[in-house]
Structure formats: C-alpha cells, structure tokens
Structure 1
Amino acid sequence: MSIALAALRRIALVLALAVATSSLAAAQGTRIVDGRVMKPRGTEPDPFPIPGIMVTLHRVSRSGGRPIDSTRTDASGRYHFRYPAPADSSAIHFVSVAYAGITYFSAPLRDPVVRGADADMTVFDTTSRPMTITQRGRHIVVSAVDSAKRRGIIEVFELSNDSSVTRVAPPGSTTWEGGLPPHATGFRVGDGDISGDAVRTETGRVLVEAPIAPGLKQLSFSYDVPARDFPLSIPAEHRTDVLEVLVEEPSGTATGAGVSEVDPVEVDGRHFRRFIGRDVAPTAVVRIAIDRPPALPRRYYIMIVALALGAAMLVVLARTTWRRGTRGATIHGEPAWANDPDALARRIATLDAEFERNPSPSEEARETYELRRADLKARLADALVRRGRVE
C-alpha cells in the first residue's frame, strides 16, 4: 500500500513540475516544444523512435521566414526546444525533420507549450515503385460566365496514400496525373498540401512530381474554359470515392458518372446547384451543361416585332410631321390613306385576298394577318366616323 502511495506521490510531483514549467514559460514569455520523431513498424501498431536525426525550429512572420534553432533527437527519438515568444503576435512556429530525402513539417505550434501528439513527428521510408494513390474525393466548382465569355473552374482532389511508405517519383515520372479540358487556359495551383512548385502542365495534363507521404493530401488548382465549350465532358480517370460538382448558374446541370442532384449550397454569398456521385469508376465521364433560358413561343416574337415596327413608324411619322411643320404644311400625323375609307377598304380586301390564296397558312401567318386586319378595321371605323357615315 505504501509503495502504491509513493508511486502516486511521484506522479503527482511530476505533473506539478510540468504545470509549473508551463506556467513559468508562459509568465516569462518563453515557449516550449517537446516531441518525438518516429517511424512506423510495418503492420505493427507502435512506431519505433528515430535517434540522432536533426530537427529544425522555424519562425515565419510578415517580414519573412527563417530557421531559429536546431537539435538532434536523443536515443528515444525525443527533441526539445525552448525559445522566446516573438514580438510579432502573428508569427508562426513549426518544426521540420528530413528523412530519406523527404522533409516533413509539423502543424503550427500555436500554444506556448506544445507536447505529446501535437509535437510528435512521423517519418516514412520511401519508394518509387508503382503504387496506388487512392482518390478519396474530387470536387469540381464551375463559376458563372464572366464578361470575357469564360467560366472559371476550380478542382480539389483528396489523394490518399494508404501504405506505410512515401511515394516518390522516379526520374522523368510523376506521383499523380490528371487531365485538363482541351481549351483550358490560366492554369494555377491553389492552397493545399502540394506546392505549386511541384506541379506542372504538359499537353493537357496536370503532372505532380511532389512526394506523397502516407495519409490524406489535398491538391487544388483552377483554370478557365470558354463558355462555348459547354456542355463540357470531364473524364474521371481515377476511381473516386466521392465526386462533387457545384454549378453556379441556375440552369447548370451535371449528368453521368452516377451523379444526382442534392440540396444546393451557398459559398461566400454565391449560390450553387450541387451534384454528388459515389464510387465513381475510372472510365466514367461527368457532363456539365449550362442550359439556355427557355425560348418564348413564336407568337410572342411576332407581337414583339409588330410593336417594334409600330414604334419605328411613329418615329418616322414624327420626323415627317416636324419637317412638314417647318415648311408651313398642315400636320396630319397619319399617312393619306389612313383617313380615306375607300383606301382602307381596298387595303382590307387586298389583305383578305392574299391570305385566302394560302390554303394552309401557318399559325404565325394567321396571327400576323389577324393583327394587321384588326388594325385596318379600327382605322376604317375612325375614318367613317369622321365622314359622318355608319357602317
């Protein structure tokens, strides 16, 4: 019982010292990071430590970035840094370690004292042999057409190395590839886990040369496509767990590759239709279309044209009236036949005869005839009233 009590007291003392150290570091403006560098043991759950490996502490601020300290791990793979808090509160610290030609970075060290899993680093052996990089997700975001008649497209890939080794590209080869639409321009790499310095394009292909360590990595890039290229077909190329397509224009649709529409989403105040597909085969193709607004029935076009012609006639009549007025002439505001019942009757008869000569007039022709005849009849009634006659 006394042994157990003594052990508990020792544990309590260690915890108290750790808390005191953290409090003292915070009070004195000093930061601490304690971690380990480890490597997986194949299929075994527990990794083994890497002794004697160099670990570097970095600081990045608005004025730039640089290493500020370095140390080697001890026999148990542990490392320790104590460093002053920066004057620039926006500065970020992190540690890095190089193993088998690959540099690994920790997450930003945001707290004054970082220990345990937040400070531990895992490194891996490398291989250049062919291996599968699983495509967990692919997200395609299609923006609305811009003033240059182009649509911007953003693609985000979630690539997973499910092995215990880092995949590196052999000379002249790549770790991952994907395709671009035929007329894509303005290619640029976005935020993600893969640097733009390790991504290039060649003959319509996106080529990634960066090492891909075990775990999930994100690759994002964007490009522009002419609006005339839609409907746009995009091959899957890789088996994909989840394929998501977002289309900003309300008339946009996505079909093929097993996608179906789900609830729309809003991103930064912009609204997108959303389509989701699962377990997409490498041979699948998704087709993105932007439908044109539905056309008006033809009869409405006839009415619009008639109104436009009427407006044009009014402009001509107004100009003619003004010219006559400047010459001292009487302003009538109508052509001569518009006030002549006999001339109007002849026009109606001529219109009827021309229409009757067509045994099977189209709907558009009939509507044009009826509109024109109604106008002439109204003019004839007005002319007869003026002459004091009743039809």
Structure 2
Amino acid sequence: MAKVLCVLYDDPIDGFPPRYARDSIPHIAGYADGQTAPTPDAIDFTPGELLGSVSGELGLRTFLEANGHELVVTSDKDGADSTFEKELVDTDVVISQPFWPAYLTAERIAKAKNLKLALTAGIGSDHVDLQAAMDNGVTVAEVTFCNSISVAEHVVMQILSLVRNYIPSYQWVVNGGWNIADCVERSYDLEGMEVGTVAAGRIGLAVLRRLKPFGVNLHYTDKHRLPADVEVELGLTFHPDVESLAKACDVVTINCPLHPETEHLFDDAMIGKMKRGSYLVNTARGKICDRDAVVRALESGQLAGYAGDVWFPQPAPRDHPWRTMPNHGMTPHISGTSLSAQTRYAAGTREILECFLAGKPIRDEYLIVQDGTLAGTGAHSYTAGDATGGSEEAEKFRKAS
C-alpha cells in the first residue's frame, strides 16, 4: 500500500458551483508537437469540472482506494504545524500544483524517509528542491504540455490588457464613469511593436504563433534554437542572449523554467536595459524577476506595465508589493488551471500514478528527475540546484487570513 499526499488549493468560497457555465469542453487528443494528451486507463471525473481544489481531489480517490492505497488531501501546506508537514513523514508520493505549491525543500525531503515520487499536477517542478531529490533518489515528474496552451492564451490576454490599458478602462465602467481621456492616456496599439519571448519551448512558441496575426515583429532567445523553417514561417529574430532581446523589444514575455540560472534574471540591471515604457509579462515563475526591481521600474516609468500570474512565494503574502504597485495586471496563479486544463492535468496525474504504482516506466516527457539525475524534460529544460529558498514566507498568507 502507498500513501499519497495531495496538496490542492482551497474550494470556492461559496462552495462548488451548482451548475457550470458550460455543459462541455472540447476534447484534446494531442498537442502541436505530436505528443498525445494524457492516456490513463480510466478517469473517475467529468471533464470540465473543478478538479484542482481540495474537494475535487483530482478525481483520484476512487482509483487509489479501490487499489488499497491511502489518499490524504489538504490545502494546509505551510509551516511546521501544517497538515502537509505532519503527513509527509510516512508519505510515499507527494502531489502538488504550481498554483498552490507544497514546497519540497531539502529539509522536508530529509524528513520524508518513504518518499519515492514528487508529482506536479501541471507543469513546472521548481517547488521541489531538484538537487535534494537527486541526492535522495526521489523521482520528480510533471504532466508536460497539459496546460501549455492555457498559459499561452493567458500571456496574449495580459499583453493586450497592458498595452490597451484595459483594466483601468473597465474599472471606469464599474465605477459609473465615461472617462475616455483617462482610459486612453496609456492606451496604444500592439500592431507594429517588437515583441519577444525569453524561451521558445512549448509555451513560448505557442505565444509567438498566437501573436503573429497581430502584425508585430517577433523575437526570441533560447538555449535551443528553433528550426530555420519555423523562424522563416513566423518571421522570427533570434537573439543569442536575454540582454540582446531585452534591448530590442517593446514587449517581453517570460516563458522559461525557474532554476538557479534564471533566478532573478530580470533585476534592476536587466530591466534597465529595456526600452523606457516597455511591458513585461511573466507567467513562468515569479522568482525569475526581482520583486523589488519590478516595483521600482513601474514607479519610475522604466516599465509601462507588468503583468503575470506567478509570484514568490505562492500564495503571495498579503503585503506583497506586487498587489499594490502601479500599472500592473497581476492575477493569482490561474493561467494553467482553467477547467479545460484541469481535465488534462488530472488525467495526466492519474496516468503517472498508474505507471508508478504498477512499476511501469513513466513517459519520458513527464520526467524531471529519475535515478539521481535530471531526466526527460528535466534534462532539456532545467539545471541542477535548488530554487525553493525563501518559500517559508508563504505561511504569512494563512496567518493574515
């Protein structure tokens, strides 16, 4: 029997919806690069339902308990007295999400003597100390590509929201006004702008493809250069480093993983190299940007706007300065947990568990760490090390509630 500890975000304040806004969602069988969508033996949920919160349980309870395993589900993840900390000691599998991450630090991994698998229900496993996982023989896996398009759509939405000054304009309507001059004094057309992505993997490339019809000039930088035919198709300008791209672009979107090489990549110096009045959108990981450098850049006007849905730590403390800085378009970490995306990452979580519990190989594209080394997608996208430092600050969110 395995003990599975699953950390999910809280249920809706008013309870689960008695009726969903839509009766169904489109069925996605595969992705743009040819990878198939998750293929578990079965699912015990209805696609399009709320699965990522505590009561949704990722649709796992029936499957796990029918096979003699124990499932513990909680949202209480931070601090020494948290349910997560108490249950971790004899847990075999930890499931967490990027949106409400259970930070698996080296200290926590050391306490979890039975831990064999850290599974991300979504994509991005930086909330796990990958070096500690390698040192302790813990497999790390995530549901690669399950919500990449969800995030790409969010990026395009936030770019347009910033450039067109949508959020303040909407607020004038809510407040009963018709203040056209106030709405348009910071509103521009995206057409003709130079737009670049830091990383052009699954998400970054999807962003570029979606922006092409807007008549913008597209740029990218990545450790792995795209094929020449893709560059020609999209009219891409390749940059050998982030600094070169930052200097050239009016809009920069960050779509790279967080690891020691990208932590605080956008600090005062890097933001200072950007054009005055440019826009920065970060749906990758909050720690890729220096928190206070972003605030300073917005206050000085070096940045005309900053948006994203990723913070550090998560949930963000109530006094986090990104909540109150000027000209921002921040949301909670929601880009990859639409009801459509939840269907795929819940199914992928089930697929990975089925393989792990049966002693079968996990799909290579789902692997981040295996057998003491970076593996699969992890070997392509990450570097060894730890990016969880400082995560204990997340406890402040609960204390201030």
Bigger strand fraction: 1
Q: How high is the TM-score relative to the length of structure 2?
A: 0.21
> Per chain length, whose mean CA-contact separation is higher, i.e. which structure has more relative contact order (CA < 8 Å, sep 6+)?
2
More helix by share: 2
TM-score (norm 1): 0.21
User: Larger Cα Rg: Structure 1 or Structure 2?
Assistant: 1
